[in-house]
Amino acid sequence: MKKNSVSPIPLNPTPLKNTSSADTKASGRGGARPGAGRPAGQGQYGEPTKPVRLPVSMIDEVMDYVATGGRQSLPLFSCAVAAGFPSPADDHLEGSLDLNDYLVKHPAATFFVRVSGDSMIKAGIHENDILVVDRSLEPRHGKVIIAALDGQLTVKRLHHKSGKTMLMPENDRYAPIVVSDEASMVIWGVVTNVIHSV
């Protein structure tokens, strides 16, 4: 929690020279007193800090990350029917969610694909949607997959039926594609989520 954002610019670090008369013999002012001193929690972050070693290439990025409050874990509500009376927000709160955590289970094996065409409209996949694709999942029968076919990427539902492999669109205006030569098709990954703009 950031209590205040005091910039580390010195307000007036060098004490002003004594007003007028000369020899200011350093007489004792101030004195021992409890409660003096800079109060805790007044730093940049409003809490204690510790030095940590980081790879130089990531320091800027990490500083950004910290400045923006770390993980973007935002609250998740639900539409479910509330307890019975007009309710405050808490009644709907399900918890909090970080999009990357939720959508990207295998970061090293995940990529995105922007959709063109409407051949999978019945699967809730629209033109310009972004698909979250996981390479590490096995492309089983019935999964929606991304395949490279004739040098083009396509989204289809994978069907294995009586030894034949087919790519099924989910739009009545399109016909299934029978994959005659499996070697000509490369499956890039399994679609796990669709991101659609309203």
Partner DNA sequence: ACTTTTGAATAAAGTACAATATTCTAATAT
Partner DNA sequence: ATATTAGAATATTGTACTTTATTCAAAAGT
Q: Does 183 bind a copy of itself (CB under 8 A)?
A: no
Total Cβ atoms within 10 A of residue 146? 22
CB 87, min distance to DNA, A:
39
Burial code (b: 16+ CB inside 10 Å, e: under 16) for 55-71 equals eeeeeeeeeeeeeeeee
Q: Cα(29)–Cα(134) distance, rounded to whole angstroms?
A: 70
Residue 27 binding: pick among a copy of itself, DNA, none (C-beta 5-8 Å cut-off by kind) = DNA
Stretch that binds DNA, among 44-52, 83-91, 92-100, 129-137 (CB under 7 A): 44-52
Using the rule CB under 7 A, which residue among 13, 84, 88, 163 binds DNA?
13
Give 125's Cβ-side CA count (13 Å radius).
Answer: 26
Stretch that binds DNA, among 40-48, 120-128, 142-150, 165-173 (CB under 7 A): 40-48
Can 156 be counted among the known catalytic residues?
yes
Site for a copy of itself contains 166 (CB under 8 A): no
Bridge partners, residue 133, by sequence: 111, 191
- 151 counts as binding a copy of itself under rule CB under 8 A: yes
Q: Which of 25, 156, 162, 184 is catalytic?
A: 156
Query: Among residues 57, 119, 164, 180, which one is catalytic?
Result: 119
| 22: contact with DNA by CB under 7 A | no
Interface residue with DNA, options 1, 11, 74, 83 (CB under 7 A): 11
CA gap 118, 173 in Å, rounded: 9
CB of 91 closer than 8 Å to CB of 78: no
Amino acid residing at 69: G
Q: How far apart are CA 73 and CA 78, in angstroms?
A: 16
Q: What is the dihedral of CA 10, 12, 13, 14, to 10 degrees?
A: 150
Q: Closest distance between a copy of itself and the C-beta of residue 37, in Å?
A: 20
- The question of whether 119 is a catalytic residue gets the answer yes
Query: What are the residue numbers of the active site?
Result: 119, 156
Residues that bind DNA (CB under 7 A): 6-11, 13, 15-20, 24, 26-45, 47-49, 51-53
